[in-house]
C-alpha cells in the first residue's frame, strides 16, 4: 500500500516539474483571444492546430534545416576526432594520459559565451566567417568534444581487454582490432553519446547568434529569439514554434531515456 502512495506522490512531483512543457503544448493549441484570458484556461476551449501555418509563416524549414546541418556537422567531427582518443584514454594509463585527461576536462568547462569573443576575432582574421555555418560547427565541436571523450571513455573502459589481445594474437593490426573488434563492441555507448552531442548542438545558440549574420543560414534557436522580440504578443506562435522544435528532441529522449541516464551517470562520475 505504501508503495502505491509513493507512486502517486512521484507522479505528482513529475507533473509539477513537467508543467512548463504541458503549458507550452497547451498554449500552442490555444487561439488568439483565449491566450490572453485571465484566469488562464488549463485546457483549451476550442483547440486550434496552427503548426502548419506557423511553420510556413516563420519559414521554419530553413531554420530547422540549418540546425540539422550544424548538429550533424558537429556530431561527425566529434565522432571522428574523439572516438579514438576516448579509447586510448580508457586503455593506456600513465602520467602522460593523466595530463591529456586533465587537459580534456579543463577544456570542457570553458563557457561558450566567454569563448565567443576570441573565436569571433580569430575566425574573422582567418576568413572563416565567410562560411558562417562551418565556423559554428568548428567552434561547437570544440565545445562538446570533451564531453564526448569523457562519456565514451566510460564505455571503452567496460570493453574487456582480452578480446583485443586475442585479435592481435590472431594477426590483426592495432588499427584492424580497433575498427573491427573494439568499436563494434562499444557501439551502443558511442551512439548514445553521439545522440547527446547531436541534441546539444541542435539547440546551440551563442555561437550561431554571434557568427551567423545572414538570416537564411541561422538555426532554429536564433530564429526563435529574433521572432520573440521585446514586444512580441504572438505567444501562441512562439509556443507553437517551440513545440515543433522540441517535439522531435523529446521523442528521441523518451526512446533513449534509460541509456542516456546510465551513460550520463557512468561518465560524469568516473
Q: Binding to other proteins (CB under 8 A): which residues in 56-85?
A: 77, 80-82, 84-85
How many C-beta atoms surround the C-beta of residue 6 within 10 A? Answer: 10
User: CB of residue 188 vs other proteins: minimum separation in angstroms?
Assistant: 17
Among 216, 225, 248, 255, binds other proteins (CB under 8 A): 225
CA atoms 201, 194, 242, 65: torsion sign:
positive
Among 54, 75, 87, 240, binds other proteins (CB under 8 A): 87
| Residue whose CB is less far from other proteins, 125 or 160 | 125
d(CA 32, CA 234): 8
Q: Which three cell numbers stand for residue 255?
A: 526512446
State whether residue 106 is helix, strand or coil. Answer: helix
Confirm if 192 and 256 have CB atoms less than 8 A apart: yes
d(CA 127, CA 117): 15
By C-alpha distance, which of 112, 69, 76 is closest to 194?
76
User: CB of residue 53 vs other proteins: minimum separation in angstroms?
Assistant: 18
d(CA 141, CA 71): 9
Task: Map the footprint of other proteins across residues 132-171, applying CB under 8 A.
Answer: 138-139, 141-143, 145-146, 149
Task: Map the footprint of other proteins across residues 13-42, applying CB under 8 A.
Answer: 13-14, 17-18, 20-21, 23-24, 27, 35-40
Helices then strands, each counted (H, E), the chain: 15, 0
52 binds other proteins (CB under 8 A): no
Among 206, 217, 240, 263, binds other proteins (CB under 8 A): 206
| Residue whose CB is less far from other proteins, 151 or 206 | 206
Task: Map the footprint of other proteins across residues 98-137, applying CB under 8 A.
Answer: 98, 100, 102-122, 124-125
| Residue whose CB is less far from other proteins, 163 or 268 | 268
| Residue whose CB is less far from other proteins, 18 or 52 | 18
| Residue whose CB is less far from other proteins, 146 or 217 | 146
d(CA 265, CA 54): 38
Confirm if 54 and 241 have CB atoms less than 8 A apart: yes
Give the count of residues interacting with other proteins (CB under 8 A).
104
| Residue whose CB is less far from other proteins, 209 or 217 | 209
Amino acid at each position: 500500500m505504501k508503495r502505491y502512495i509513493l507512486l502517486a506522490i512521484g507522479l505528482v512531483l513529475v507533473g509539477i516539474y513537467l508543467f512548463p512543457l504541458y503549458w507550452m503544448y497547451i498554449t500552442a493549441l490555444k487561439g488568439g483571444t483565449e491566450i490572453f484570458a485571465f484566469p488562464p484556461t488549463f485546457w483549451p476551449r476550442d483547440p486550434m492546430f496552427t503548426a502548419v501555418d506557423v511553420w510556413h509563416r516563420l519559414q521554419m524549414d530553413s531554420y530547422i534545416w540549418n540546425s540539422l546541418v550544424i548538429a550533424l556537422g558537429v556530431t561527425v567531427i566529434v565522432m571522428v576526432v574523439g572516438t579514438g582518443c576516448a579509447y586510448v584514454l580508457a586503455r593506456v594509463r600513465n602520467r602522460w594520459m593523466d595530463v591529456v585527461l586533465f587537459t580534456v576536462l579543463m577544456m570542457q568547462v570553458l563557457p561558450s559565451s566567454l569563448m565567443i569573443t576570441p573565436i569571433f576575432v580569430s575566425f574573422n582574421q582567418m576568413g572563416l566567417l565567410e562560411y558562417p555555418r562551418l565556423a559554428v560547427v568548428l567552434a561547437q565541436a570544440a565545445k562538446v568534444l570533451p564531453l564526448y571523450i569523457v562519456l565514451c571513455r566510460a564505455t571503452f573502459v567496460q570493453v574487456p581487454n582480452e578480446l583485443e589481445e586475442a585479435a592481435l594474437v590472431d594477426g590483426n593490426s592495432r588499427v584492424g582490432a580497433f575498427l573491427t573488434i573494439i568499436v563494434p563492441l562499444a557501439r551502443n555507448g558511442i551512439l548514445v553519446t553521439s545522440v547527446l552531442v547531436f541534441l546539444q548542438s541542435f539547440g546551440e545558440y551563442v555561437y550561431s547568434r554571434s557568427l551567423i549574420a545572414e538570416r537564411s543560414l541561422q538555426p532554429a534557436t536564433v530564429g526563435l529569439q529574433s521572432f520573440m522580440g521585446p514586444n512580441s504578443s504572438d505567444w501562441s506562435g512562439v509556443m507553437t514554434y517551440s513545440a515543433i522544435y522540441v517535439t522531435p528532441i523529446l521523442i528521441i529522449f523518451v526512446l533513449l531515456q534509460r541509456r542516456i541516464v546510465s551513460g550520463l551517470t557512468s561518465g560524469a562520475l568516473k
